[in-house]
Amino acid sequence: MHVTGTVPPPAPEPRETPAGPVSESTRHARRFGLPVATALVMGNIIGGGIFLLPASVAPFGTISLLAFGVLTVGAIALALVFGRLAARDPRTGGPYVYARGAFGDFAGFLAAWAYWITTWVSNAALAVAAVGYLDVLIPVNDHRWTACLAALVIQWLPALANFAGTRWVGAVQLVSTVLKFAP
Protein backbone atom coordinates (compact mmCIF):
# COMPACT_ATOMS: atom_id res chain seq x y z
CA MET A 1 0.00 0.00 0.00
CA HIS A 2 1.22 3.46 -0.89
CA VAL A 3 1.56 6.24 1.66
CA THR A 4 -0.99 8.38 -0.18
CA GLY A 5 -3.50 5.55 -0.33
CA THR A 6 -3.68 5.60 -4.12
CA VAL A 7 -3.01 2.64 -6.31
CA PRO A 8 -1.07 3.17 -9.54
CA PRO A 9 -2.92 2.30 -12.73
CA PRO A 10 -2.21 -1.16 -14.10
CA ALA A 11 0.39 -1.42 -16.84
CA PRO A 12 -1.06 -2.12 -20.28
CA GLU A 13 -0.80 -5.76 -21.18
CA PRO A 14 1.29 -6.56 -24.25
CA ARG A 15 -0.60 -7.77 -27.30
CA GLU A 16 0.41 -10.93 -29.11
CA THR A 17 1.17 -11.01 -32.83
CA PRO A 18 2.61 -13.76 -35.01
CA ALA A 19 6.01 -12.08 -34.64
CA GLY A 20 5.76 -12.01 -30.84
CA PRO A 21 4.46 -9.68 -28.14
CA VAL A 22 3.87 -6.04 -28.99
CA SER A 23 4.08 -3.49 -26.20
CA GLU A 24 3.93 0.30 -26.24
CA SER A 25 7.71 0.49 -26.72
CA THR A 26 7.83 -1.85 -29.73
CA ARG A 27 4.65 -0.99 -31.65
CA HIS A 28 6.37 1.82 -33.58
CA ALA A 29 8.52 -0.72 -35.41
CA ARG A 30 5.56 -2.11 -37.37
CA ARG A 31 4.63 0.97 -39.43
CA PHE A 32 6.80 0.49 -42.52
CA GLY A 33 6.68 -2.27 -45.10
CA LEU A 34 9.75 -4.10 -46.36
CA PRO A 35 10.59 -1.74 -49.29
CA VAL A 36 10.44 1.40 -47.13
CA ALA A 37 12.27 -0.24 -44.23
CA THR A 38 14.98 -1.40 -46.63
CA ALA A 39 15.22 2.12 -48.10
CA LEU A 40 15.54 3.58 -44.60
CA VAL A 41 18.39 1.25 -43.71
CA MET A 42 20.15 1.72 -47.05
CA GLY A 43 19.68 5.48 -46.87
CA ASN A 44 21.18 5.62 -43.39
CA ILE A 45 24.14 3.44 -44.32
CA ILE A 46 24.89 5.09 -47.65
CA GLY A 47 23.97 8.55 -46.42
CA GLY A 48 24.06 11.69 -48.50
CA GLY A 49 27.82 11.66 -48.95
CA ILE A 50 27.39 9.46 -52.01
CA PHE A 51 26.40 12.61 -53.90
CA LEU A 52 29.68 14.37 -53.02
CA LEU A 53 32.31 11.79 -52.24
CA PRO A 54 33.04 10.37 -55.72
CA ALA A 55 34.18 13.78 -57.02
CA SER A 56 36.32 14.30 -53.91
CA VAL A 57 38.14 10.96 -54.12
CA ALA A 58 38.46 10.76 -57.92
CA PRO A 59 42.00 12.24 -57.91
CA PHE A 60 43.18 9.29 -55.79
CA GLY A 61 42.33 6.74 -58.46
CA THR A 62 41.73 3.07 -57.77
CA ILE A 63 42.94 3.26 -54.17
CA SER A 64 39.67 5.06 -53.42
CA LEU A 65 37.82 1.87 -54.38
CA LEU A 66 39.77 0.02 -51.71
CA ALA A 67 38.78 2.70 -49.20
CA PHE A 68 35.12 2.30 -50.21
CA GLY A 69 35.47 -1.46 -49.66
CA VAL A 70 36.92 -0.98 -46.17
CA LEU A 71 34.15 1.49 -45.31
CA THR A 72 31.54 -0.95 -46.62
CA VAL A 73 32.86 -3.71 -44.35
CA GLY A 74 32.71 -1.27 -41.42
CA ALA A 75 29.15 -0.24 -42.28
CA ILE A 76 28.04 -3.88 -42.50
CA ALA A 77 29.70 -4.62 -39.15
CA LEU A 78 27.87 -1.68 -37.55
CA ALA A 79 24.58 -2.81 -39.08
CA LEU A 80 25.06 -6.32 -37.67
CA VAL A 81 25.93 -4.94 -34.22
CA PHE A 82 22.88 -2.68 -34.17
CA GLY A 83 20.72 -5.54 -35.41
CA ARG A 84 21.87 -7.74 -32.54
CA LEU A 85 21.46 -4.95 -30.01
CA ALA A 86 17.94 -4.20 -31.27
CA ALA A 87 17.03 -7.87 -31.04
CA ARG A 88 18.36 -8.00 -27.48
CA ASP A 89 16.70 -4.74 -26.35
CA PRO A 90 13.76 -3.72 -28.59
CA ARG A 91 12.97 -0.48 -26.71
CA THR A 92 13.12 2.77 -28.65
CA GLY A 93 16.14 4.98 -28.06
CA GLY A 94 18.87 3.39 -30.16
CA PRO A 95 22.47 4.03 -29.10
CA TYR A 96 21.37 5.74 -25.88
CA VAL A 97 19.47 2.68 -24.68
CA TYR A 98 22.26 0.27 -25.61
CA ALA A 99 25.08 2.28 -24.00
CA ARG A 100 23.01 3.03 -20.90
CA GLY A 101 22.08 -0.61 -20.45
CA ALA A 102 25.68 -1.79 -20.75
CA PHE A 103 27.66 1.02 -19.12
CA GLY A 104 25.28 3.21 -17.14
CA ASP A 105 23.58 6.59 -17.39
CA PHE A 106 26.66 8.68 -18.19
CA ALA A 107 27.69 6.44 -21.09
CA GLY A 108 24.15 6.60 -22.44
CA PHE A 109 24.26 10.39 -22.16
CA LEU A 110 27.59 10.54 -24.01
CA ALA A 111 26.37 8.19 -26.74
CA ALA A 112 23.24 10.27 -27.28
CA TRP A 113 25.19 13.53 -27.44
CA ALA A 114 27.83 12.10 -29.77
CA TYR A 115 25.08 10.88 -32.09
CA TRP A 116 23.31 14.24 -31.90
CA ILE A 117 26.49 16.19 -32.73
CA THR A 118 27.29 13.96 -35.71
CA THR A 119 23.76 14.60 -36.93
CA TRP A 120 24.27 18.38 -36.72
CA VAL A 121 27.55 18.21 -38.60
CA SER A 122 26.31 15.85 -41.29
CA ASN A 123 23.10 17.84 -41.82
CA ALA A 124 25.11 21.04 -42.26
CA ALA A 125 27.44 19.31 -44.74
CA LEU A 126 24.50 17.92 -46.69
CA ALA A 127 22.84 21.34 -46.83
CA VAL A 128 26.03 22.89 -48.22
CA ALA A 129 26.32 20.08 -50.76
CA ALA A 130 22.68 20.36 -51.79
CA VAL A 131 23.05 24.11 -52.31
CA GLY A 132 26.07 23.38 -54.50
CA TYR A 133 23.99 21.01 -56.63
CA LEU A 134 21.05 23.43 -56.69
CA ASP A 135 23.37 26.21 -57.86
CA VAL A 136 23.89 24.34 -61.13
CA LEU A 137 20.14 24.56 -61.84
CA ILE A 138 19.29 27.85 -60.13
CA PRO A 139 22.02 30.38 -59.30
CA VAL A 140 21.68 30.58 -55.51
CA ASN A 141 25.36 31.05 -54.63
CA ASP A 142 25.47 34.55 -56.12
CA HIS A 143 24.53 36.05 -52.75
CA ARG A 144 25.09 34.66 -49.28
CA TRP A 145 21.52 35.23 -48.18
CA THR A 146 20.08 33.23 -51.09
CA ALA A 147 22.48 30.37 -50.35
CA CYS A 148 21.49 30.46 -46.66
CA LEU A 149 17.80 30.58 -47.53
CA ALA A 150 18.20 27.65 -49.93
CA ALA A 151 20.06 25.66 -47.25
CA LEU A 152 17.29 26.37 -44.72
CA VAL A 153 14.59 25.28 -47.16
CA ILE A 154 16.53 22.11 -47.91
CA GLN A 155 16.85 21.41 -44.17
CA TRP A 156 13.15 21.98 -43.55
CA LEU A 157 11.88 19.68 -46.30
CA PRO A 158 12.64 16.46 -44.36
CA ALA A 159 11.23 18.07 -41.21
CA LEU A 160 7.98 18.81 -43.05
CA ALA A 161 7.86 15.18 -44.20
CA ASN A 162 8.20 14.16 -40.54
CA PHE A 163 5.35 16.46 -39.57
CA ALA A 164 3.20 14.98 -42.34
CA GLY A 165 3.59 11.47 -40.93
CA THR A 166 5.36 8.19 -41.39
CA ARG A 167 3.95 7.56 -44.87
CA TRP A 168 5.56 10.76 -46.13
CA VAL A 169 8.84 9.92 -44.43
CA GLY A 170 8.79 6.52 -46.10
CA ALA A 171 8.01 8.00 -49.51
CA VAL A 172 10.74 10.64 -49.24
CA GLN A 173 13.27 8.03 -48.10
CA LEU A 174 12.30 5.65 -50.89
CA VAL A 175 12.73 8.37 -53.54
CA SER A 176 16.03 9.60 -52.10
CA THR A 177 17.41 6.06 -51.94
CA VAL A 178 16.45 5.39 -55.56
CA LEU A 179 18.17 8.67 -56.54
CA LYS A 180 21.40 7.43 -54.94
CA PHE A 181 21.52 4.62 -57.48
CA ALA A 182 20.53 6.74 -60.50
CA PRO A 183 23.45 7.66 -62.76
Q: What is the pLDDT of residues 13-66, one digit of tens each?
A: 555 544 455 555 555 545 778 888 888 878 777 776 676 677 777 788 888 888
N- to C-terminal Cα separation, the chain: 67
144-154 mean pLDDT? 91
Neighbours of 31 (CB within 10 A): 13
pTM of the model: 0.57
Alpha-carbon span 4 to 176, nearest angstrom = 55
Q: Which of 62, 64, 34 is CA-nearest to residue 49?
A: 64
